[in-house]
Structure 1
Amino acid sequence: MTHADAAESVHPYVRKGAAWAWRLLVLLAFGLTVLWLFWHLKTITIPLLLALMGSALLVPTVNFLQRHKIPRSLAVVVVLLTGTAAIVGILTFVVDQFIKGLPDLSAQLTNSIESLKNWAIHSRFHISEDQIGKAGDALVNTIKDNQGRVTSGALATATTVTEIITGAVLTLFTTIFFLYGGKEIWEFVTRIFPTAVRPRVRRAGVLGFGSLIGYVRATVAVALVDAIGIGVGLAAFSVPLALPLASLVFLGAFIPIIGAAISGFVAVFIALITKGAFTAAMILVIVIVVMQVEGHVLQPLIMGHAVQIHALAVVLAIAAGGVLGGIIGALLAVPTVAVLNTAIRALIEPFDADDPYLREGEEEAEVLDPEMVPDGGPSALGAKPGNGVPELGPAPPKD
């Protein structure tokens, strides 16, 4: 029996299944390789993704200032300094307020523990004071037994701090170049693709970045509503640290669905140890109501228009991002999925040859929504020496 006869003897469905199987295995291997490279180059890749998110947040303001006759270089500096100052200010305020309130919180926590201890002793469970003391001693012994791990964790934290500083600097400089000449950088990157598919790839990148802008805008709007709702509730019940807790909710909301919920439960815990069970229960009700409004009103109305991703996909993306990259992974998971979803759909869907997104050079910059890509200003590629932009090569020619 010849090879051709042997192949013909296999059922067509089996042959098609085998063809699909090896192709899927190749795609799986490629995906795992990309994830492996991403993780081992995380000092570079994570700042790059953070810079893309920062650019998506700031580039509409940069384009607005440029349209009002402000030089793009000056607009980038003003917007970047303002945005950085706002983020640093919020973080500094939250940390400072928590540090100032820590002594009072510690005293109130001690009182709460004593109250809980007295309740346990006089409850129907009949827990003796000796049993509580033994439980406390066991906890202390456990901490002593794991002192080595704590020390090694402190050393690891020192290394992490160094990586964070390095990543922050890299993120800042990358954001500057994305804001200053992101369109030209993207055109340069797409030159690695064949001429026949290059316009389609450029269009996919533009639309993907547009979805990222929509996602960031929607996230900021949702975060503001969450922070205001929970913050007003905390202030109404006179819970200490209401403003920093509201700021924490705002920052946490950048991780969709679970971020604001986790920071909201921190507020419930603070209310429990400072104001008692009734106030904590009321704050819990407020947090649940705010989460319901976010999930059933804000997400469909605001986020649904910006990012067309199913809620299950959002949860799975956050879970996968958290497993792979911790908090940063959870933060970047949903916008990454949103961009890939839009870009892949743009790559595979049919398009008109006269599609304005496919025009090259200055013609493309004129017809695109100025808030879709950071256009305008001196070219980040092929710029003349001495203007503060590296000479990475000539501008992409017309194909």
Structure 2
Amino acid sequence: MIPPLGRHGRAEGGGGQVRNRPGRKRESASGAPGSGDRRRGAGTVLRTGPARRVVIVRRTAGGAPEHGPAEPAGLSPMLRAAAAYGWRLIIVGAVVYAVFVALGKFHLVTLAVFLGLVLTALLEPLTSLLNRWMPRSVAVASGLLLGIVLLFGVLSLIGANVAGEWAGLRREFDGGVARIERWLQGPPVHLSRDTLAHLQTWVRRFVSTHRSALISTALSGVDRIVEAATVGVLALFCSVFFLHSGSRMWRWFGGQLPGARRRPVRLAGRAAWTTFTGYTRGIVLVAAINAVLVGVALFILGVPLAVPLAVLEFFAAFIPLVGSPVALAVAAVVALAAKGPVIALIVVLLIVVIGQIEGHVLHPLVMSRAVQLHPVVVALSVVCGAVTAGVAGAIVAVPLVSVVWSVYGVLRALPAASFRTP
């Protein structure tokens, strides 16, 4: 006989059976009273008192009792699994929140590193090509120099275009405002002259009243320009080292990890970089095609500032699903003021056509390999990024979610032994 269990569910001695104390009812693990406890590997359940605490006594292969923790009776397995996953999700959410808070404190540095990675993804093919005929350092300097020359060439083209069309554009806008007023006075709006005059007076009064606020906003814009220049210089600095010795930097980081962790980290890093470069190059190609289509269409329609509006479309396309319609809406306003409602309506139809081409032709052909996300996930990512960090968050959100998803897919395919501590 086995001595009875103690107060904490431990056997007071050795043996192979469990003896009931007064006031306790013995049941088997299956729930039938007094059955199944003589078989090897079977369990004996002792039910005590009104609190209905259950002590499970399991038998090991050698016959020795193994006592599990006391659990409340009637607790469903689904509730236990939900609780187990719940506290793990709380910890993961707290860690993610802490990471985003830290990144928000250093948002300029984070944005500079992100732009440095973008420049690295764009210039790495050119640098590798030049590296066949020249040393790596010279190839990096040549690639960055070509990129800077291209950027300043586009900016100078925009400035020359605006300066050449400014006088005619001002006359067209004055005539366009008069045409808009006449259109608002006619059907279907039927606004009176007094209403339009009152609206103009209200705008002038608002500008004169809030002149100091507008001036301070303009001066704060100077601070923004300084911050943007700082971010650009830091991004250029980071891209130089990423292009020159990025692989060595990653190998050094992997060498600091324990041996069992190096392979998962190496595979995750490779998947993240492949996804990021594919997304960056793909979105640049999509934005360039959109800008060419918009520029050609606006030039054919005779809308002024076709080149600056095409460049605006190029940069706006980096915000998926949202940026392109906003840029084309600006083009529609310019067309309304300069050419009238008919041309503006054609530009609005152009928004629909280019949106369909981008969503059903360009993205499936160019972005399908790099970004395997549902459009709903893309839209929610853009909105959450915009709410969290404004325009920069909307730009960073989709590549960040894509990278995280690709890393998760790679780590999920690895065996569980790859994550065990040796």
Question: What TM-score, normalized by structure 2, do the two folds share?
Answer: 0.77
Pairwise mapping of residues 181-196 of structure 1 onto structure 2 (< 5 A)?
A: 181-196=245-260
SS in 2 for 1:240: coil
2:108 pairs with 1:43: yes
What is the aligned partner in structure 1 of residue 89 from structure 2?
24
2:94 pairs with 1:94: no
SS in 2 for 1:115: helix
What is the aligned partner in structure 1 of residue 382 from structure 2?
318
Pairwise mapping of residues 65-214 of structure 1 onto structure 2 (< 5 A)?
A: 65-66=130-131, 68-121=132-185, 123=187, 127-214=191-278
In the TM superposition, residue 100 of structure 1 has moved relative to its aligned partner by 4.5
Pairwise mapping of residues 251-262 of structure 1 onto structure 2 (< 5 A)?
A: 251-262=315-326
SS in 1 for 2:260: coil
SS in 1 for 2:391: helix
CA deviation digits over 1:284-323, x for unaligned, max 9? Answer: 2233212211100111111112221222222222222222
In the TM superposition, residue 13 of structure 1 has moved relative to its aligned partner by 2.1
What is the aligned partner in structure 2 of residue 374 from structure 1?
none
SS in 2 for 1:309: coil
In the TM superposition, residue 76 of structure 1 has moved relative to its aligned partner by 0.4
Change (3 A) 1:124 1:328: closer
Check conservation: 1:271, 1:279, Cα contact below 8 A: yes
Pairwise mapping of residues 335-374 of structure 1 onto structure 2 (< 5 A)?
A: 335-350=399-414
In the TM superposition, residue 53 of structure 1 has moved relative to its aligned partner by 1.2
User: Structure 1 stretch 3-12 or stretch 169-178: which is displaced more?
Assistant: 3-12
Check conservation: 1:271, 1:283, Cα contact below 8 A: yes
Change (3 A) 1:242 1:118: closer
2:345 pairs with 1:278: no
Q: Output the amino acid matched with 1:223.
A: A
In the TM superposition, residue 184 of structure 1 has moved relative to its aligned partner by 1.3
Q: Output the amino acid matched with 2:86.
A: A
Change (3 A) 1:192 1:313: farther
Check conservation: 2:169, 2:304, Cα contact below 8 A: no
What is the aligned partner in structure 2 of residue 393 from structure 1?
none
Query: Rg larger in 1 or in 2?
Result: 2
SS in 2 for 1:306: coil
CA deviation digits over 1:350-369, x for unaligned, max 9? Answer: 2799xxxxxxxxxxxxxxxx
Aligned pair partner of 2:119 in 31, 54, 59: 54
What is the aligned partner in structure 2 of residue 233 from structure 1?
297
CA deviation digits over 1:143-198, x for unaligned, max 9? Answer: 33433432432343232222112111110100000000111112223345332121
2:340 pairs with 1:307: no
Structure 2: distance between partners of 1:7 and 1:98: 77
Structure 1: distance between partners of 2:187 and 2:73: 79
Change (3 A) 1:13 1:241: same
Q: Output the amino acid matched with 1:197.
A: R
Q: Output the amino acid matched with 2:228.
A: I
SS in 2 for 1:196: helix
Structure 2: distance between partners of 1:326 and 1:286: 27
Q: Which has the higher contact order (CA 8 A, sep 6+)?
A: 1
Question: What TM-score, normalized by structure 1, do the two folds share?
Answer: 0.81
The Cα RMSD (Å) is 2.5
CA deviation digits over 1:118-155, x for unaligned, max 9? Answer: 34445576543333222222222333343343243234
Check conservation: 2:176, 2:339, Cα contact below 8 A: no
- What is the aligned-residue identity percentage? 32
Change (3 A) 1:123 1:33: same
In the TM superposition, residue 276 of structure 1 has moved relative to its aligned partner by 1.7
Structure 1: distance between partners of 2:188 and 2:387: 42
Structure 2: distance between partners of 1:125 and 1:256: 34
What is the aligned partner in structure 2 of residue 395 from structure 1?
none
Change (3 A) 1:10 1:283: same
Structure 1: distance between partners of 2:236 and 2:357: 35
2:359 pairs with 1:295: yes
Structure 1: distance between partners of 2:290 and 2:405: 27
CA deviation digits over 1:235-282, x for unaligned, max 9? Answer: 222222223322322222222232222222222222222222222222
Structure 1: distance between partners of 2:332 and 2:192: 29
Check conservation: 2:386, 2:392, Cα contact below 8 A: yes
Q: Output the amino acid matched with 1:64.
A: L
Aligned pair partner of 2:332 in 260, 263, 268: 268
Higher helix share: 1
Change (3 A) 1:160 1:171: same
Check conservation: 1:230, 1:287, Cα contact below 8 A: no
